Amino acid sequence: MAVILPDLIYELLTLSLDLFEIGLLIFNLSAIFAIVFVERRNPTAALAWLAVLILLPYLGFVLYLLFGRHLYAERRFCLKALNDQYVLSKVRRQRRALNERRIAFSETDSGRFLPLMRLLLAEGRSMIYTRSRIVYEDRGELHFDEMLEAIRQARHHVHMEYYIIRNDALGRRFVDALAERARAGVRVRLVYDAVGCLRVGRAFFRPIIDAGGKVVPFYPGLLGIINFRINYRNHRKILVVDGQTGFLGGFNIGTEYLGDGPLGYWRDAHLRIEGDAVHALQARFLMDWNHAAGEQDGVDPAFFPEPLVVGDVACQIASSGPDTPSATIKEGFIRMLMSAERSIEITTPYFVPDETVLDVLRVAALSGVKVRILIPSKPDHIFVYWTTLSYIGSLLDAGVRAFTYDRGFLHAKTCVVDGRVCTVGTANWDVRSFRLNFETNAFIYDRALSETLRHAFDRDLEFSTELTRDRYAARGRTVRIKESVSRLLTSVL
């Protein structure tokens, strides 16, 4: 009996391992089938995944669970009273009005950008708003003071949606301000990304909850550790107060965004929006709230009041993410670039575009358009940094000029075309923002604001170094290897 028992245990273990390997094989084959026939991914990314799943089945199994699955089936971001037919009818009416030139723009040359407006309407259902006031801000101290003051002035509701909120002096100021408003009877709701706020934890937001506010994580992990949706993050930074004032842009909430961090001075870009375009930010928040909280809020008129402040800036608020069939923001970027006649200025911390974006930039430069791209000189994500350099280097021969920002860390996400149209928001110029993250950008048809962004770009060049063809060609073998390895890894993840 003493001999039989170990043999039995050995047989059971062997059988379990065999069953596991069979299950692993079935899973990997199913994943390959989904990649090739269902998801129809980019060929380069598909080949990379096939290689990992076939050659490294155990590692491929884990990586695919964490990073590989798409969320196209999860198109549940909706407002109960804002169904598809209702939205489509409004989009169709506005497209007809646009084609018949019945939409009044304060800028006389806005007609140049009708193709961009039509694209965002068709792909992202991004309504055109013409009665907004938009202020650009790149100074962290002033930006956060304005946000906090807007929260303190709230009388009906405060809606916040942020990728990162730090447990530091600035983060606690926001929690205290939200808790105070909740105690005063203001409806306070906050969505935070579970990965971006991984180090914070739900206890950090307890003062808001205890005061009567609501706080929910976006795509939380199992027990806070295992997250099978880790690759799909809510990268949006949105604040809406009383349906009258909105904020959108690149600043997260933490003292590092004030320059108090290892990367030093922080250069970012954000918008304060008042007027009718706030309604688009409000709708975006409510759709994300419904999904994250499992609720089904409809279109409460109190969330969409008549604007108290009316301007003459025209804009569209575009959103995209892994739940949508089209990459609306990326397509908006491409259409903007295609409209360029004189100049393009791009500011981005991460430049990892796909071939389409690269081709459009290359063609623009070769056609005589002055293309300038500003990137950081120091990395916060090392693999993305080396990949950015490799892609920038591939454009230099076409006449694109590139600069590295030396003053601190560059986190702004902006683009200006001909000083006439611009975009500011949460999306970087990389495949993650194009395909994987939930992002929101404002596309703005206004000469004054576009010129403001151009002047900001020129000021940044005073603290930058040009990455010339000679400088890029002189990089060492180690740097070239880092670029090649990083570019391969970013094509998979």
Residues serving a catalytic function are 235, 237, 242, 411, 413, 418
- Residue 264: both structure tokens together: 């030093």
**Angstrom distance (rounded) from CA 355 to CA 104:** 36
HEC string of the chain equals: CCCHHHHHHHHHHHHHHHHHHHHHHHHHHHHHHHHHHHHCCCHHHHHHHHHHHHHCHHHHHHHHHHHHCCCCCCCCCCECCECHHHHHHHHHHHHHHHHCCCCCCCCCCHHHHHHHHHHHHHHHCCCEEEEEEEEEECCHHHHHHHHHHHHHCCCCEEEEEECCECCCHHHHHHHHHHHHHHHCCCEEEEEEECCCCCCCCHHHHHHHHHCCCEEEEECCCECCCECCCCCCCECCCEEEECCCEEEEECCCECHHHHCCCCCCCEECCEEEEEECCHHHHHHHHHHHHHHHHCCCCCCCHHHCCCCCCCCCEEEEEEEECCCCCCCHHHHHHHHHHHCCCCEEEEECCCEECCHHHHHHHHHHHHCCCEEEEEEECCCCCHHHHHHHHHHHHHHHCCCCEEEEECCCEECCCEEEECCCEEEEECCCEEHHHHHHCEEEEEEEECHHHHHHHHHHHHHHHCCEEECCHHHHHCCCHHHHHHHHHHHHHHHHC
